[in-house]
Amino acid sequence: MRPAGLRPAWLAAGVLAVLVAVVAGLAFGSVSLPPGAVAVELLNLIPGVDLHSGLTEREVAILTELRLPRVVLGLLVGAMLSLAGAAYQGAFRNPLADPHLLGVAAGAGLGVTAVIVLRPAAGATGGLPLGVPVAAFLGGLIAVAMTWILGATGGRDRSPSTLILAGVAVSAFLAAMQTYLLQRHVESLREVYSWLLGRLATAGWHDVLVVLPYTVLTAAIVLTQRRELDVLTVGDEEASSLGLHPQRSRYLLIIAASLGTAAAVSVSGLIGFVGIIVPHTVRLLTGPSYRSLLPLSLLFGAAFLTLTDLLARVAGGAAEIPIGVVTAFLGAPFFIVVMRTSRGITT
């Protein structure tokens, strides 16, 4: 039976969720702004539009210089982590696959840590250099390759449980290497530790510009593979008989998803479980077809992380909660539920 396509109603719901998340993320925080005035100020960003929002000059500065780059970065990171999670689940035919659990995030984290601790020796100053996503990508790609190889049991067969266990082992090994690096460079400990817990709090336009090209490239590649992912669900032999080259499609998806994850990790730190929570929620609402799952995961992932960041800002009061802590609180019980019911999920 032909997989169902993307329904306009769900697409509209995804766009609406993003708009609501953007306005809420900009309006609320340590200083609350009227949502209607925030919406007017967003319209003023359109060339040729000049409307009176009623906000003071200080409030406009808070909105455009502090909150707007943070919200935009949250949208990009949430979209990437969610889309990568959905792509990994399809490529590995494993409902538990996630950038965190496959070791990709840990590999990318090790790459970023290496750049941070070696940066003083290279004489670099200021924010994260543009080469950080490249280091993160190489680390993430090496990690997912290690997980893929170690996850094989008795030849080329890879069960969901062995693949995840291999990912846990790879993550632990890379985390040990990261700890060793930090012990050798204790002067960078605070910066790296702050980054590990998620760092949207320090987001700026520089971070947005760093991650944006990787986001566009990853989304373009993964979204064009929607049909291939649907075909992969029937098995490699059947997919080959339908004219698909399974390994070629799988490698393309893994490389693209690793690139997107690495770029997101390089600017936001380790934010886990987004790639589990959002795709599985979308799958439960709209069905298993990747024709709708991928674009909706992108939209709802962007909205989810923006709203989660807002929760992290307002729940901790003056002491903001790291966003990685909030996603772990939400994601750990969600993962347990998915793990216990994964046999009934069609990927």
The string of DSSP letters for 54-74 reads ---HHHHHIIIIIIHHHHHHH
CA atoms within 13 A of residue 202's CA, in its CB half-sphere: 15
pLDDT in tens, 140-187: 888 888 888 887 765 555 666 677 788 888 989 998 998 888 888 877
For residue 188, give every residue at least 6 positions away whose Cβ sits within 8 Å of its Cβ, in sequence order, or none.
Answer: 116, 117, 120, 182
The reported pLDDT for the residue numbered 124 is 47
pTM to 2 decimal places: 0.85
Backbone angles phi, psi at 5, to 5 degrees: -85, -175
Q: Which residue has the tokens 């990568």?
A: 84
Task: Give me the helix-helix angle, 132-150 and 160-184, nearest 10°.
Answer: 140
Q: What whole-number distance in Å separates Cα of residue 86 and Cα of residue 106?
A: 18
Written in H, E and C, the secondary structure of 243-278 is CCCHHHHHHHHHHHHHHHHHHHHHHHCCCCCHHHHH
pLDDT in tens, 260-306: 888 888 888 888 899 999 999 999 999 889 999 999 999 999 999 99
The reported pLDDT for the residue numbered 52 is 87
- Look at 342 and 272; give whichever has higher pLDDT: 272
Q: Are the C-beta atoms of residues 103 and 177 closer than 8 Å to each other?
A: no
